[in-house]
Chain A
Amino acid sequence: MIVQKILPVTCPSCSGRMKVQRLHCSNCDTSIEGAFELPVLNHLNAEELDFVLQFVKASGSIKDLSSLLGYSYPTVRNMLDDLIKKIVQTEKDLKAKK
């Protein structure tokens, strides 16, 4: 049985944003350690990330995405607006930390 692991983006202890500390190459067994920021999109939860993927697949058309998801146009527009707000806020937070 294959278990799909979900990348944890928030700390289960304090809800802070997680960073990547260690990267590993499974081909040559090389490991790199440091403190790497996750890309902005990785700060979204699975549902939000799925929405972004569907939106890209629908060529960025809200109309097409709304018929694909079975939601009304303004509902999808609202989902997108909320996501834009979250991404902008995440970018601001990440910049502020630098």
Chain B
Amino acid sequence: MKQLLFNPFIKIAGAKALLLGLVLIIIGSVFASLFNARFDGLIDLHFYKGVNVFQALFDQIIGLIVVAFVFFITALILGSKPRLVDLVGTFAYSRLPYVFAPLLNITGVFLTFSNALQSIDPANPVLPLSSSQLVSFVFLTILSIVLVVWLVTLYFKAWKTCSNLKGNKLVLSFIAGLLIAEILTVYLTRNFTI
């Protein structure tokens, strides 16, 4: 079970992972449109009013294409020869934690908090939220951090399995690739909307 959640790529890769990943992306997009979430970055999740399902799907597909492309180029530079289908498949399956991420806004607490922040009077800076709303906001924020850590762990395992790099080369190439992919995805998803 632990392996299935944190290092599934020992057993799943290629077309199988891609198919499962695409199903996860579609489910995540439906949840995103239902609970007002946008995946506007490779590891970003923000809550806006009225997100349509195609926008959520577009965001995730852009993220997938960018991350696979960036790491494929990185692999070629470093002399590793992964199959493109393995990279796309494992990175698609890595979106598993973000299927659940939009559910964090099931009560609308993130939008409420965002509205509350915007309505603060600078002369009287008091958050117009009840203590129960604050507690649930803090709890759900911690949960969202757990999901981000899980997502990055899966991305790392996907890269490790596909590249077969080791040591510093593996870690540094992962950090560099993730940063480049994140910047590109943020730029593309925030400048091209449906």
Contacts and interface: CB of A to CB of B under 8 A. Distances in A.
B169 interface: no
Contacts of A16: none
A59 B10 CA distance: 22
A93 interface: no
Interface size class of A (residues with CB under 8 A): 10 to 19
A73 B11 contact: no
Main secondary structure on B side of the interface with A: helix
Interface of B: 9-14, 17, 82-83, 86, 90, 161-162, 164
Nearest to A81: B164
A81 B166 CA distance: 12
A92 B12 CA distance: 35
Interface in A54-88: 70-75, 77-78, 81-82
B86 A74 contact: yes
B13 A73 contact: yes
B161 A78 contact: yes
A72 B14 contact: yes
A77 B14 CA distance: 12
Across the A-B interface, give the 6 residue pairs with the lowest CB-CB distance, nearest first: A72-B13, A78-B164, A74-B86, A74-B161, A74-B13, A75-B10
A72 B164 contact: no
Given A73-B83, A75-B9, 12 more contacts: A71-B10, A72-B161, A73-B13, A74-B9, A74-B14, A74-B82, A74-B90, A74-B161, A74-B162, A75-B10, A75-B11, A81-B164
A84 to B, nearest CB: 11
Contacts of B82: 74
A72 B83 CA distance: 12
Contacts of B162: 74
B190 to A, nearest CB: 33
A70 B3 CA distance: 14
A93 B117 CA distance: 67
A77 B12 contact: no
B11 A74 contact: no
Contacts of A77: 164
A74 to B, nearest CB: 5
Contacts of A73: 13-14, 83, 86
